[in-house]
Chain A
Amino acid sequence: MKVSAFHLMPHRELPHDFEQRYESVWVTPPWWELADARRVGQYYNWTLDELLHAARAGFDGICTNEHHQNAYGFMPSPNLMGSVLAKQTNDLDVAIVQMGMTLPTTSPPIRIAEEYAMLDCISGGRLVAGLPLGSPMDVNLAYGITPMEHRERYREAVELVTKAWQAKEIFAWNGKYFQLGTVNLWPRPIQQPHPPIWIPGSGSISTFDFAADRNACYCFLSYSGARSAKAMMDGYWRVVEEKGLEHNPYRAGFLQLVAVSETDAQAEADYARHVEYFYHKCLHVPPQWGAPPGNQDYRSLLAANRSPVRRVEDPKTLRYRDFVDKGYVIAGSPATVRERLIEEVIKGLHVGNLMVLVQIGSMPHELTLKNIDLFAQEVLPHLRDIWDEEGWENHWWPERLRGARQPVAVGVAK
């Protein structure tokens, strides 16, 4: 089992009536009313410190991601963060998991191949290369990419990036969206033929195929827990089976919100308002922005419109105990958390690469460190060997880090 700490870098101090006063947390929240650059500088430093703390506490990997024009998670450049993390963890067996730089909005996309290769060089071959499609809010609304071209651009960019890493000869790329006369990447990654590729998704069937066809790790980035992910992940495993690929749990990643405290009651006292802040404010987006016309292809759209009207639950109507009961968040004592993580997420979804959102919404720095420490000390050791008896190899993890992680300096803060 490999377990990574995931961070969104959210605004931690939105006003209590944010979701009533503002249209959206994404695309249109007014910076001048809601944020202060010096304070935001503090958030970035907390974020880096929290991820470095997780690395020292024993997490196997640390994850950053790219989003734009929002208060939900604003690392417009994940590689700026990743480069700090790579440099500062050179003494640790921890993976730098970039989940990552968004392909359709990076032009030309060999910029991603270059920066990831830099990170792999700086980190001594510890990079996991996330190749995200990007959300419609980022790609279509904030960065102006035509919805109907979003996926086509992505697919071309993935082919270009993976070829640029591996090509022994200089080549010309005459694509539909990108034309480059001379591709000759400097630097190349340490990991050969290229760093492990993770493809984040949100349950679209075409992404299952795309990931499986490229033998990549498909990562379901979900905020609604394992129960609602079960049908989707089963669908992914069916695709894997149909394509004759091995049922290796490391072929799948899953993101889970986790909040650990001394007891279940203490977890509620510690985390309830931060969890509610996350679901009520950080996910406050007009639903139609998530699927502008043309973003979903005709067949997926028709399939979605045909499926029986299943009202998507509005998280604004739910409170902490609902989020916990429904598994959106796995929170409680170490015993509660490990039991639910193992049964619902790891075994339930057959997942080998777990990502844990350790900082949730408004969760302050000190409390985040507590969550990280309790998880690393009381939960993580019980997860590590889950898949070992079955003898799977994690082909989607940096080769030099595939052995057992030595828990160095557990619980040392700062």
Chain B
Amino acid sequence: MASPDVQQQAATVWQGRVPLRVRVKGAGPAVVFFHGPWGLTWGPFLDALAERFTVYAPEHPGTSPGEPDAIREVDSLWDLILCYDELFEHLGLSEAMLVGHSFGAMMACEVAALRPTRIRRLVLIDPIGLWRDDAPVINWMLLSPQVLPAHVFKDPDGAAAKALFTIPDDPEEAALAKTRLTWAMGSTGKFIWPIPDKGLKKRIHRIASPTLLIWGEDDRLVPRVYADEFARRLPRTTLEVVKGAGHAPHLEQPEATSRLVQAFLGRPADQ
């Protein structure tokens, strides 16, 4: 649930064919947050970020309520990268800091690699986008709804897991919630099926900004060896491991994650 003071901005890109809904809150330097495969969750992590920054959180095409077919107009990863490039123009962001989670972190890398000089800082929370045969990323789209929460969260019975995965009692609300969750996975999965290695390894060297890598200590979807893979390719990288978290530390441990992110984003430019 978004706090009442989160604004909504609508943008239309890609020759008018792709509507993008952006949640906006706060004041200060621009931070763009790219959500993961289960849709945008506005919670304490983004609220805290909005105390010092202007947070722009776009919803990936297809994941906004009422606009499921927006994804039909985005054929490829290249299309999606350019849609976001157009969104930055639309929002008037000549420079920004990026925070991304999971699939959203892969998109943050792609956007940063497209226009390296526009991106000041990059925060990757349990990113995907690279591949090692000896440590395959689990394809969460093939997991049953019963086991999915325990793969995304360290504590599948905790508040964060419940907020994301609990199906409401009201039948119509339940049908909508289930459908949105599945459709969000399908809409983001379109760009990573069946293996989330779509060429980032060839473009990642273009990223120029300092990078903070955050990994949930118990990420059961993306093994920690990928932290090395990202760090190896992004020389100005710091790795922080968050205890008590799985694949979504910003949801499961919002305070600890937020402290790390704020410290990194708020650091003076020459550090």
**How many A-B contacts at CB < 8 Å in the complex?**
67
A residues 216-232 touching B (CB-CB < 8 Å): none
Cα–Cα, bound, A301→B179 (Å)? 6
Q: Which of B27-35, B150-158, B188-196 contacts A (4 or more CB under 8 A)?
A: B188-196
The reply on B144 being an interface residue by CB < 8 A is yes
Q: Mark B52-80, 1 if CB is under 8 A from A, else 0.
A: 00000000000000001101000100000
**CB contact between B68 and one of A149, A295, A298 (< 8 Å): that residue:** A298
Q: Is the CB of B175 within 8 A of A306?
A: yes
A123-150: contact bitstring with B at CB < 8 Å (1 yes, 0 no)? 0000000000000000011001111110
Flag if A301 contacts B193 (CB, 8 Å): no
Q: Which of A140, A145, A288, A294 contacts B187 (CB 8 A)?
A: A294
Is B143 a contact partner of A306 (Cβ separation < 8 A)? no
Residue of B nearest to A142 (CB): B194
Query: Does A403 sit at the interface, judged by CB under 8 A?
Result: no
Whether a CB of chain B sits under 8 angstroms from the CB of A78 is no
Name which residue of chain A comes closest to B69, CB basis. A298
**Structural contact, A288 and B193, CB atoms closer than 8 A:** no
The reply to whether B144 and A286 contact each other, CB–CB distance below 8 Å, is yes
Say whether A288 contacts B189, CB under 8 Å.
Answer: no
Q: Are A305 and B174 in contact (CB under 8 A)?
A: yes
Nearest A residue to B176, CB-CB: A302
Contact of A302 with B187 in the complex, beta carbons under 8 Å = no
- Range, interface on chain A: 20 to 34
Within 8 A of A (CB), among B142-177: 142-145, 171-172, 174-176
Answer whether residue A43 sits at the interface, using C-beta atoms and an 8 A cutoff.
no
Cβ A295 vs Cβ B143 within 8 A: no
Given the known inter-chain contacts A286-B144, A289-B142, A301-B183, please indicate yes or no for A294 contacting B190, CB distance below 8 A: yes
Asked whether A293 lies within 8 Å of B183 as measured between CB atoms, the reply is yes
Cα-based distance from A288 to B194 in the complex (angstroms): 16
Smallest CB separation, B209 vs chain A (Å): 31
Q: Are B145 and A288 in contact (CB under 8 A)?
A: yes
Min CB gap B8→A, angstroms: 21
CB distance from A88 to the nearest CB of B (A): 38
Binary contact readout A273-312 vs B (1 if CB under 8 angstroms, 0 otherwise)? 0000000000000111100111100100110011000000
Contact of A147 among B68, B143, B172, B189 (CB under 8 A): B189
> Is A294 touching B186 in the complex (CB atoms < 8 A)?
yes
The CA-CA distance from A293 to B189 in the complex, in Å, is: 8
Q: Find out whether the CB atom of A288 lies under 8 angstroms from the CB atom of B144.
A: yes
B41 to chain A, nearest CB (A): 17
**Are the CB atoms of A298 and B193 closer together than 8 Å?**
no
Q: Is A38 part of the binding interface, using a Cβ–Cβ cutoff of 8 Å?
A: no
Is A176 located at the chain interface by the 8 A CB criterion? Answer: yes
Contact A146 B75 (CB under 8 A): no
Q: Which residues of B contact A293 (CB under 8 A)?
A: 141, 182-186, 189
Residues in B with CB closer than 8 Å to A295 are 186
Map CB proximity to B onto A376-395 as digits: 1 under 8 Å, 0 otherwise.
00000000000000000000
Tell me whether A148 and B182 are in contact in the complex, defined as CB-CB below 8 angstroms, given that A292-B141, A302-B176, A305-B175 are known contacts.
no
Give me 6 other A-B pairs in contact (C-beta within 8 A), A288-B144, A294-B183 excluded: A144-B194, A146-B190, A148-B186, A288-B142, A292-B142, A306-B175
Q: What are 8 A-B contacts with C-beta separation under 8 Å?
A: A148-B186, A176-B75, A288-B144, A292-B186, A294-B185, A294-B189, A305-B176, A306-B175
Residues of A within 8 A of B (CB): 140-141, 144-149, 176, 286-289, 292-295, 298, 301-302, 305-306
